[in-house]
Amino acid sequence: MLNAIARSLRHKFALAMLAATFVSLSVAGTALALYELQAYKQNVTSDLLTQAEILGRATGPALAFDDHKSAEENLSLLETRRQIRAAAIYNARGKMVAQYRGAGAHAEHKVPALPEADGVRLQDGELVVFKRILENKEIVGTVYMSADYELAQRFRGYLGILASVMGLSLLVAAGMSAWLQSALTKPILAVTNVARQVTERKDFSLRVQKTTKDELGYLADAFNDMLSEIGRRAEDLETANRALEREAQERRRADQDVRQLNAELEQRVSQRTLQLETANQELESFSYSVSHDLRAPLRWIVGFSEALMEDHGANLDDEARRKIQIIQNEGRRMGVLIDDLLAFSRLGRRALKVSDVEMGVLVLATWNALKEREDFSRVQLHIGAMPVATGDRVLLGQVWTNLLSNALKFSSKQENPRIEIGAITDDQEHIFFVRDNGAGFNPKYKAKLFGVFQRLHDTSEFPGTGVGLALVQRIVHRHGGRVWADGNLGEGATFYFTVPRESRDGAV
């Protein structure tokens, strides 16, 4: 029942109507009953007082002249007043001279033997009055009357009337609400019905039939407009959805194509890499064996030219000796070149032995080793604070050797050669640099600095094989670092290399 009320507008409407009727009737009925009961009390009281007064007046002469019969006759007139239960007349000295019992009086109802003080009071459900009788300003007796005072009965009667009126009103209200419902709720229910169908079937072509021209009619119109609008939107949305879906499909296809292409590319790259690696290895082993094989004939050339000088030097003229000397020098130079090339190609094969390396110590050791070969007392060396780097001690030593000898070589022709070594550390890597005030280089050829056999200066000017910086680059790259250089012709050069703080075993 409660659910039905909660769900249906119809029931709510009926309930509201009935409730309003019930409440208004209850309030009005209660107010009326209270007023009526109050009025009843006042009426009964004043009525009884009036009757007592009239009876007293009428009975005055009878008492004055001691006429009991006349007093009784007066009392018997009360028969017309049914609500009077009993009455009595007392003379001036309190003796009862006449009494009356109404038809409704109980058998045990007793008329007081003596009169009491004037006044009205309630006593055992009846109203009792005593009233003095005055004749010529003298008290000649007393009237006693008792009357029905049935407030409860009257109240019950009222409740009965109220209940029947209320029942009737509720019936009428129910009927009215049923009648009004068809006028008020039918259009709403029609809208609700269509709304439910639309929700269930998703059919936006349904329409509510407009039956009235009031707000409900407007509601129906608005609902219909809304339905058509929703229908149109839904169609648009569906079209857009379809287009989107098509687009998505195309994209998926394109994506797939790209992925396929990528895979193919990757495969090709790996193939090429493999080929390249193979070629590289072949090349390295080739250059190694070539270098290795070149050393034996070279030794012979150098060795025999030395033997020639020792055994036949005295027989040769100066020109011949000079030429033999040239052969010896160039032969040795070629030996150095071959050694460098061997070292370079070995580097590709050698595994890194990584450990913590005190770079400051390493730089000093390198410097001292270089000093033993040549006298660098002229050179001003400045070494800054150096960190501990992670890497292969031997290879890093090679880096320092190459860079330092490079710097020494190119600054040797200065009057006051100066070499500065330092390091900068950020959160990712250590940056080391070697700065000299030597010959410098043309920035145009910066890119060629680190290539094998790339030389920016003539060998006669600065001797060298052209392998040193290539070796440096290779070692640094294997440590995962970078190399670069700054400089200008005649203004010195600065060579930088980095070592990552996180050690990693990179491969060339």
Partner 1 sequence: MALWVLLVGLACGPCAAQPDWPNDESQIKAAFLYKFAGYVDWPEGFLGSVETPFTIGVLGADPIADELVQIVQGRKIHSRSIVVSRLKAGDPLEDVAILFVGKGDAARLKPVRGTLQAQPILVVTEEPAGLALGGMINFLLVDRHVRFEVALAPVEKSGLRLSSRLLAVAQRVHAEGR
Q: What does the binding site for partner 1 look like in residue numbers (CB under 8 A)?
A: 57-58, 60-62, 64-67, 70, 91-95, 115, 117, 135-136, 138-140
Tell me the three-class secondary structure of 178-196, residue by residue.
HHHHHHHHHHHHHHHHHHH
State whether residue 65 is helix, strand or coil: coil
The nearest distance, CB 85 to partner 1, in angstroms, is: 24
| Least distance CB 128 / partner 1 (angstroms) | 16
Q: Which of 419, 325, 416 is nearest to 378 (CA)?
A: 416
User: Pairing state of beta strands 388-392 and 380-383?
Assistant: unpaired
**In angstroms, what is the minimal distance from the CB of 119 to partner 1?**
12
Residue placing its CB nearer to partner 1 in the complex, 66 or 247: 66
Specify the residue, 134 or 230, whose C-beta has the smaller distance to partner 1: 134
Min CB(95)–partner 1 separation in Å: 8
Nearer to partner 1, 11 or 131 (CB): 131
Burial 54-69 (b: 16+ CB within 10 A, else e): ebbebbbebbbeebee
Q: Cβ of residue 91: shortest distance to partner 1, in angstroms?
A: 7
SS3 92: coil
Residue nearer to partner 1 on the CB measure, 95 or 233: 95
Structure tokens at 85: 């239960």
Minimum gap (Å) between residue 78 Cβ and partner 1: 17
Nearest residue (CB) to partner 1, 95 versus 312: 95
Which parts of 374-442 fold into alpha helices (H)?
A: 393-411
C-beta closer to partner 1: residue 10 or 131: 131
Q: How far is the CB of 32 from partner 1 (least distance, A)?
A: 42
Q: Which residues of 92-125 are buried (b: 16+ CB within 10 A; e: fewer)?
A: beeebbbbbbbeebeeeeebbeebeeeebeeeee
Please state, in angstroms and rounded to a whole number, the distance separating the CA atoms of residues 397 and 383: 16
Q: What angle do CA 137, 140, 145 make, to 5 degrees?
A: 115
By the 8 A CB rule, do 455 and 464 touch? yes
Considering the complex, state which of residue 70 and residue 503 has its C-beta at the smaller distance from partner 1: 70
